[in-house]
Structure 1
Amino acid sequence: MSRRVVRQSKFRHVFGQVAKADQAYEDIRVSKVTWDSSFCAVNPKFLAIIVEAGGGGAFIVLPLAKTGRVDKNYPLVTGHTAPVLDIDWCPHNDNVIASASDDTTVMVWQIPDYTPMRNITEPIITLEGHSKRVGILSWHPTARNVLLSAGGDNVIIIWNVGTGEVLLSLEDMHPDIIHSVCWNSNGSLLVTTCKDKTLRIIDPRKGQVVANNFEEPVALQEMDTSNGVLLPFYDPDSSIIYLCGKGDSSIRYFEITDEPPFVHYLNTFSSKEPQRGMGFMPKRGLDVSKCEIARFYKLHERKCEPIIMTVPRKSDLFQDDLYPDTPGPEPALEADEWLSGQDAEPVLISLRDGYVPPKHRELRVTKRNILDARPPTGPRRSQSASDSPLSQHTLETLLEEIKALREQVQAQEQRITALENMLCELVDGTD
């Protein structure tokens, strides 16, 4: 009598559960734009969701702990003149998020740890370079301040957001709309999918497609899902890939191994309502004391609810096999080091004692002064020795006035921030 051999895996019994009702975020007007991004981005501090907004595009940013009903007047992040299509948190600074819009721009924002009293309308920097809508964003996994954007112009631009400069522009590689872009683990290569049904692996610094002829798939999985796009989320620590169908009500997950058949179906988490979008928490934001190995943030029409995936264990001790060291918030490279050809794997941290997000860190943008390189304009006039000192004196006076005004503005901004913090403390104290 033959006995069927069951494959051994610690993830065979991953258990999915919707968080309790009081842990959801209610009364959020999730965007109705027909775009294939996830509409949601999450990190250990904040939840960000693209929302409906009149007169332009906007998204809302909520502290993770601010669950329950969201006030209809809760401040938004606004500034785009057309709908926001994608958002992505910086992996090296939990207070920095980028947004891409139908208005052809990318904006990078600093989110304060306190709840602002009014809409955030001023980005740290606006990146302009695409000629059509920008629908895809992805931060470099290991290099500081390196951000990728892809637009309806079929162009991929890689930016240094610390200076506002274009590092690389990848043109003439995609004959049609780019559907998705993803970095590999050390950010040396990109993989893209395109409307021409071709998957390309690109070396961005060489500006070359290094592979795109995949004749036979390693594994083929038939998906019983709706016609909506699949949102894949891969966890390299557990080698599990989660597939969430937009407009579907299920999350299917598979374990990836090095031996045939390579892809092993684990289970399906199903719920009643279809998802409008989905956020995926980085591993450092999970609760290791509850053996949580993944957490999703599922968007409904007017709410967002967490879905928690756990591996049931009887022991209360830290489970080393579930939590290998994972990428932390420190970058391994600077932007210019990566551009020069250097590669580095992510800087790893242990989750043994849990993870506490660092306090607010400010992203500083240093733009080059375009006046330094600007040639003189207009006809040159001869200047006598007598009027030269006067011109120099006038210039120095103007520079001193500008410096004094700038110091006044900075002092006022600090005072406004201090008053907002005091107001927040008073409001929190009366709740």
Structure 2
Amino acid sequence: MSRFQQCAGWEEEEEGVGRGGTDGQFDMSILGKSMSRSIVRQSKFRHVFGQGVKAEQGYDDIRVSKVTWDSSFCAVNPKFLAVIVESSGGGAFLALPLSKAGRVDKNYPLVIGHSGPVLDIDWCPHNDNILASGSEDCSAMVWQIPDQSLSRPLSEPIVVLEGHSKRVGIVSWHPTARNILLTAGSDNLIIIWNVGTGEPLVSMDDHPDLIYNVSWNYNGSLFCTTCKDRRLRVCDPRKREVVAERLAPHEGVRPMRAIFTKDGNIFTTGFTRMSQRELGLWDPTNFEEPIAVLELDTSNGVLLPYYDPDANMVYLCGKGDSSIRYFEITEEPPYVHYLNTFSSKEPQRGMGFMPKRGVDVSKCEIARLYKLHDKKCEPITMTVPRKSDLFQDDLYPDTAGPEPALEPEEWLEGRDEDPILVSMRQGYVPPKSRELKVAKKNVLDSRPNTRRSMSTCDANSLPPQVLERLLEELQNLKSTVLSQEKRICDLENKLSQYTNGTA
């Protein structure tokens, strides 16, 4: 087995005795060595195990979107679970407090502002009540979700970001700077916004084809992209240029994914020329040769990687798979170490990944994933088995907290800062209703009465009688939309009853 190529179905020799072949035969030379010295690779994550929660702790009766788009369809933070769902008359997603486990009422209010299907959602890392969405209607929207359960459909975003000419398939918040949001569309354009003003700060058109994914690095100074032209690119947004690129890190033509690791390397998933799935680890300062490449299997689902910078672990979730593989990335060969696989019976439609501050330290939980089925969401916990009830310092280094390290102007001027870290010793308790603290007037400070977009005029310049008439018309239209939505739901229920033969 070479340094750069190994099958992920095999564990490395140092991982254990007799694991090196697919025919179950022991390697007697390794067995002999094991009698004289220990060959087990030391790692506190070797025995991490995954476990699904009890049925009543899941979320049932969720009509998960059937849009054919390779996004996760799910986003989660310590307060909320958001899932893109099927909806008549436009795009919608469900924003549910984590405490609302169990069966979700079929009439539970949705977030319904988009006129086309929602393709991607992302919670703001610096405010647990703020979420961004991208849609086929060519816009991105930013929403403020109230702490309590929604009492009626939410149709008014805080800000509408209109700059793409085709569908917006990717939204991604900056990891350390306040109010900075990246959007990528099928117009092959990447736009970076200050959502506090609704203004585009940076626009990049370096991609000649569809962008598959975008990932910021640890401090948000760079981001990497994968593209349908089979190139992996590293971009400096403030210089508005591609600073490094690699053609065909994976030789197959099917979609790739790439994410930055904490130390600045890039982890990729893709396909071989023979359509086998594989993963790779790359040094962006030297793209000529990979640090490691591992072949996996012949499934055709795109592998979505979720990265934990504190443990330097990556979780691979294939769309349509019924398993989650996880690996540890280290500085020692073979650099990407297979740890284990969590398997279940049902395939996954999508996946959400909890930020580290949302895990349960009292149970030695180091990660929690939210697996989407056709009509439900199942939390899966990843735990390190420990007998002690004491806080495990080695499992929980200080992790990225909710405070931004930079203001938008500082980042745009070229300053970089790592995330501001918080201790996990006492666990993390999300604040009740966290408002953004900014030096200047910011639209995220309070909910406006009407939708705010780049193209709206200043309401203060309108005569009072005109403004009053517009507001009255707007309320009438909302009432009409809500009544029609209810009627559509009733008709759909009747239709399903006839279809199932129950009426």
TM-score calculated relative to the size of structure 2? 0.73
How far off is 1:211 after superposition? 1.1
Cα distance change, pair 72–141 in 1 and its aligned pair in 2 (3 A): same
Aligned to 2:77: 43
SS in 2 for 1:338: helix
Cα distance change, pair 368–12 in 1 and its aligned pair in 2 (3 A): closer
Structure 2 distance, partners of 1:215, 1:272, is 40
Structure 2 distance, partners of 1:51, 1:290, is 32
Aligned to 2:98: 64
Unaligned runs of 5+ in 2: 1-31, 247-286, 437-441, 445-451, 473-503
Residues 285-335 of structure 1 deviation map (CA, whole Å, 9 limit, x = unaligned) = 000000000000000000000000000000000000000000000000001
The one-letter amino acid paired with 2:203 is: S
The within-5 A match list for 1:253-268 is 253-268=326-341
Structure 1 distance, partners of 2:224, 2:161, is 23
**Are residues 1:287 and 2:320 paired?**
no
Aligned to 1:232: 305
SS in 2 for 1:233: strand
Aligned to 2:402: 329
SS in 2 for 1:261: coil
**Are residues 1:142 and 2:142 paired?**
no
Contact persistence 1:102–1:133 (CA under 8 A): yes
Structure 2 distance, partners of 1:309, 1:170, is 38
- 1:104 aligns with one of 113, 138, 160: 138
Contact persistence 1:46–1:63 (CA under 8 A): yes
**Are residues 1:78 and 2:112 paired?**
yes
Aligned to 1:418: none
- 1:119 aligns with one of 140, 148, 153: 153
Cα distance change, pair 14–225 in 1 and its aligned pair in 2 (3 A): farther
Aligned to 2:208: 175
Aligned to 2:235: 202
Aligned to 1:158: 192
Contact persistence 1:163–1:368 (CA under 8 A): no
Moved over 4 A (4+): 366-372, 398-402
**Are residues 1:13 and 2:47 paired?**
yes
Contact persistence 1:295–1:306 (CA under 8 A): yes
Q: Percent identity?
A: 72
Residues 45-68 of structure 1 deviation map (CA, whole Å, 9 limit, x = unaligned) = 000000000010000011001011
How far off is 1:217 after superposition? 1.6
**Are residues 1:357 and 2:430 paired?**
yes
Cα distance change, pair 334–52 in 1 and its aligned pair in 2 (3 A): same
Residues 61-93 of structure 1 deviation map (CA, whole Å, 9 limit, x = unaligned) = 110010111000000000111100000000000
Contact persistence 1:75–1:119 (CA under 8 A): yes
Cα distance change, pair 371–222 in 1 and its aligned pair in 2 (3 A): closer
Aligned to 1:2: 33
The one-letter amino acid paired with 2:229 is: D
- 2:87 aligns with one of 45, 50, 53: 53
Structure 2 distance, partners of 1:400, 1:119, is 30
The one-letter amino acid paired with 1:193 is: T
SS in 2 for 1:221: strand
SS in 2 for 1:78: coil
How far off is 1:401 after superposition? 5.3
The within-5 A match list for 1:329-408 is 329-362=402-435, 364-365=442-443
SS in 1 for 2:191: strand
Cα distance change, pair 358–196 in 1 and its aligned pair in 2 (3 A): same
Structure 2 distance, partners of 1:138, 1:371, is 24
Aligned to 1:378: none
Structure 1 distance, partners of 2:191, 2:454, is 22
Aligned to 1:130: 164
Structure 2 distance, partners of 1:122, 1:371, is 14
**Are residues 1:273 and 2:346 paired?**
yes
Contact persistence 1:151–1:178 (CA under 8 A): yes
Structure 2 distance, partners of 1:304, 1:22, is 11
Contact persistence 1:297–1:307 (CA under 8 A): yes
Structure 2 distance, partners of 1:198, 1:233, is 21
Contact persistence 2:346–2:373 (CA under 8 A): yes
The one-letter amino acid paired with 1:81 is: S
Structure 2 distance, partners of 1:63, 1:157, is 30
Residues 218-259 of structure 1 deviation map (CA, whole Å, 9 limit, x = unaligned) = 111112252111110010100101100011011111100012
Contact persistence 1:133–1:153 (CA under 8 A): yes
Structure 2 distance, partners of 1:358, 1:70, is 24
Aligned to 1:222: 295
SS in 2 for 1:319: coil
Aligned to 1:387: none
Structure 1 distance, partners of 2:464, 2:160, is 27
The one-letter amino acid paired with 2:174 is: H
SS in 2 for 1:289: helix
The one-letter amino acid paired with 1:84 is: V
Structure 1 distance, partners of 2:337, 2:101, is 36
Contact persistence 2:133–2:142 (CA under 8 A): yes
SS in 1 for 2:88: coil
Contact persistence 1:110–1:362 (CA under 8 A): no
Aligned to 2:124: 90
RMSD: 2.4
Contact persistence 2:162–2:454 (CA under 8 A): no
